[in-house]
Structure 1
Amino acid sequence: MSAGGFITQGLGFLALRLGRVVLVIAVVLIGTFLLLRLAPGDPALTMASAAGLDDPAYVQRLRQEMGLDQPVLAQLLAYLRKVLQGDLGFSHRNQAAVWPLIAERLPATLLLLLSAFIASTTLGIGLGVLAARSQRRGGKLDRVIGAVVLLLYATPAFWLALLLVIVFSVALGVLPAFGMESVGAGLRGWARGMDVAQHLLLPLASMTCIFLAVYVQLTRGAMLEVFNQDHVRTARAKGASERRVLLRHVLRNAMLPVTTYAGLQLGQLASASLLVEVVYAWPGIGRLLYESLEARDYPLLLGVFLVISLLVLLGNLVSELACYLFDPRVAASGGTS
């Protein structure tokens, strides 16, 4: 394929994916809005009870201010109109606009998600390569790696998170258990970065261990399959070094299923971050989602759902574009999903 044809096909591939993203976002907005309205509980009554004001007139006034006295369809149309204008609504519980509340917590979540993504993919692919090479040579390393990652995969995430806290924070006292940085320390620059890194280690370890096993098994299986293909035998017959065969001919062709799963993993990471942020009191949007759910804060809940959906869809889009770069045939076959 010529360079012009590759670019033209790539632009068409991107346009189709962007159209799907818009469609999915619309479905997410409408679906989550209707599901929250069908859920039990009255946000106005919950807010009034938390303030110690159960007067029916006060509750009714809150319902009017929050627009809950309108028909559901009218509420939905008003909400969609605001979103199209860039307005995610107003959180009456926090007395603040939704987007600034999310923007304040978003960097902490992005730090945790990107760190866990990089760590799990790097370690998983590296261990998968070692396991595949060991299996071809009849070594024991493949069985050891397989046993370890299987144990990690079978371990419940909440149990692993609590275990890490007990071992490294309570028993050994070497790592902080909660928060993103030391409260009241007043650290700046490099000292603050090191403090945040120390607080990040336990949440990062919890999320990395959850997804490590899948990368190991995907990389190992894909590489063992590629090892037996004709182009690898041809490269060896031409005298290519084992390192060149491994990196250029085997690993590159084995990356397609791994890259596909990497995009899907962002959705799983986003859901896992909710649990991890609650356990470690990590101040991200996962914890914000939990707090808004407890308070029946519908505008904030919808805003957090929208941002999480955008992060997941962005990850899937990047994954599909990476798959296209590895193998342009995915555009002709309808993509990776």
Structure 2
Amino acid sequence: MTGTPPSSGRKPAAFRLDDTKVRMTDDDTRTPSAGEALITQMSGEDEEPRLPRAASTPKTRFRFGKWLLVGLSGLVSLAIGLAVDSLIRDLFTRTDWLGWLGLALAGLAALGVLGLAAREIAGLMRLTRIDHLRDRLQLAADTDDSKAASSGLRDLLALYLDRPETAHGRKQLAGHMREVIDGTDLVKLAERDLLAPLDLEARRIVMNSAKRVSLVTAVSPRALIDLLAVLFENLRTIRRLSTLYGARPGMLGFLRLARHVVGHLAVTGGMAAGDSLASQVLGHGLAARLSTRLGEGVINGLLTARIGIAAIAVCRPAPFVATRGPTISEFMGELISSTEKPEKPASRPGESDQAAGKQRRDPEA
């Protein structure tokens, strides 16, 4: 930013930036009038020209795919409704009690559909609530806002109100909230008193899942079995972690949660974690001490642990402030120690008898 130099015949003058006489302009050839100061934006000579944002923004088009889905789902619903209506009419034609039974079963099925829809909506709302709560607590910790932190922690206490295993932590946190404490420290206390037991259990869930994947991958004879086992174990881990932290999603909520986990992996570089994990494993010398199948099992177990770490970050209703959260190196050490088994050299026949005789002859040996 630079001010326009005074023209010839004008006396130098001082201006405040918030003065009404100060004008912003992009035209560096404009001459200021009497009693006016112009400020022009000087562009750097090395700055390359950029295209407007609209050049790379996709244009909004008609989404015919959604129209197709809506139309097909409507036709399927009408077909099911007409089929049920025809069935109930046929039952009434045969005998009245069969017709009433069919009508009662149709009503029971309708209630079940409404219940499933309500549960899915509640699960989606719960996931949205957790996402907003985590963002609020993160903002309160970053800005050290005690009021915002107290508001977010009250919602956190309400989230775990029906969880008896969190009673002690909720009592401790409620006592801290009655004191005069900074916002960042309040979030740290909530992480220590309320969420620490849940974090410990989450680490155990991820560790056990990584061990199972490592074992199945090491002993299974088919790649298809490996794929199915890893997929099942990862989905099971995500569901258990979401239930642990209070999300309890339905089917649609679970799909949304899985999508968030994949998105978190993509953002944090987890999709390319295979190369780094392989290099770390080779750095520990596993290639020289383990067979190929055991090495693949360890790597798959570490990848499963990576997905579990991402699931913890997505499902946890509060950010990691006091601690950095679980890391892949924590799981690596235990996986390697559980996979590696020290091998004793096989003794040749007669060596044990010779050693025993030598020990009898030399008691100090």
TM-score grouping bracket, smaller chain normalisation? under 0.3
- Higher RCO (Cα < 8 Å, 6 or more apart): 1
The two structures have a TM-score, normalised by structure 2, of 0.26
Structure possessing the higher radius of gyration over alpha carbons? 2
The two structures have a TM-score, normalised by structure 1, of 0.28
